[in-house]
Structure 1
């Protein structure tokens, strides 16, 4: 299972499922899952605003490294 990665803000990623009848694929983002997809497109929604909160004893760089590289 792929945990994800941090991408540049302007990244636009498309994933095409070649044999979806043989290997069903689901896509999940922000706790929403879509099953039996044929293609997934991922990009940043610039219209959505949010405030990022984290524990001050664990800086953001440390969180990013753990999220991407530590199982």
Structure 2
């Protein structure tokens, strides 16, 4: 008798079950990795926006201040 006949359907069923469990675990791991990467990218983008805003605030200073005439009056908004 060959091995395929000796093991029969029960062996093939258990192999298929094991295959499906491993496949599901890998799919879950892949989904988690993708979600983590998306979070990291969003966090990095948010960090860049905050840094840019801080830099703009430092460079521009007080945006309400306007120069007018020879005496350079401070205008209130």
Scaled by the length of structure 2, the TM-score of the pair is 0.15
> Which of the two has greater strand per residue?
1
> Which of the two has greater helix per residue?
2
**Greater gyration radius:** 2
Scaled by the length of structure 1, the TM-score of the pair is 0.16
Q: Which has the higher contact order (CA 8 A, sep 6+)?
A: 1
